[in-house]
Amino acid sequence: MAGKGLALITMAALLGCSGERQGATAADSTTRDLQRPAVDAGAPLNDRPAASRSKPAARTAAKPAAKPAPRERVLASGTAIAAKFDAGISSRTHKPGQKLTGTVSSDVKDKNGRVVIPAGSKVHVTIADIHESERKSDKTGKLVLTPTKVEIAGRTYALSGTAAALDRTLKDRKTNAGDIAKVGIGVGAGALLGTAVTGGSTEGAVVGGVAGGAVGAQRAIETQDRDVVVPAGSRVQLRLQSGLII
């Protein structure tokens, strides 16, 4: 009997301890709930979907900045271009339509001081007309040149304007059949005139022939052909009529 009583006392003690722990736990739980902040059920939720994992955008290679377009260089109408002939010209050998070249002597610049046609560039001209001098009063003969184009750094540009050979000269031709004929006509005419005046005498013919020969010689000198000559390396000046844009 004593054993059973001791067992009941032990069980009662265990149950009492268990009840105390549960009560303490419940009290602690209540205390915690009272300390939690109130939640506003009407407040909007700040729920956000999880960010989707996406591949990083591929980097595009940066394009180099475009270079500004070069500004045009312009030569105004009336601009002069100094050059030198690459070869000589003679009215004895050259004919209209033949083409010639020259080398620019010095840089040709626009109004802003930029070089448009550098020295050493090639200019092309065409002989529009050429003719020897046939009269003593003619001091120049005839030579008309027309500029056609200029070559700059491998590119060709059309030219419109005039060209003048500054160092051209006249060169006497050797006596030819035409000159002799002129003298012969003078002699014959003088002889006929002398014969008529002196009544057909030989002396009159001689005097007339001498006089006629003198007249014929003078006439031949006055009408002697002289060639227009332009030496190689001599100056030629071109002048633009409609300007030039490079």
Together in a domain, 88 and 159? yes
pLDDT tens digit sequence for 21-74: 555 555 555 555 545 555 555 655 555 655 556 666 666 667 777 777 668 999
Interatomic CA distance for residues 24 and 135, integer angstroms? 148
Same domain membership, residue 105 and residue 187: no
Domain limits for position 217: 177-223
Asked if residue 92 has pLDDT above 70, the reply is: yes
The mean pLDDT of 157-171, rounded to a whole number, is: 96
What is the 3-state secondary structure of 189-219?
HHHHHHHHHCCCCHHHHHHHHHHHHHHHHHH
My answer on whether 150 and 207 are in the same domain is no
**Tally of domains in the chain:** 2
In contact, 226 and 172? CB cutoff 8 Å: yes
Helix (H) or strand (E) holding 80: strand 80-85
Q: What is the pLDDT of residues 60-81, one digit of tens each?
A: 667 777 777 668 999 999 999 9
Q: Give me 184's structure tokens.
A: 């012969």
Residues 115 and 88 in one domain: yes
Question: Residues 6 or more apart from 245 whose CB is under 8 A from it?
Answer: 72, 73, 74, 75
Tell me, yes or no, whether 204 and 230 share the same domain: no
Residues 91, 111 within the same domain:
yes
Asked if 106 and 200 sit in the same domain, the reply is: no
pTM of the model: 0.57
Same domain flag for 87 and 203: no
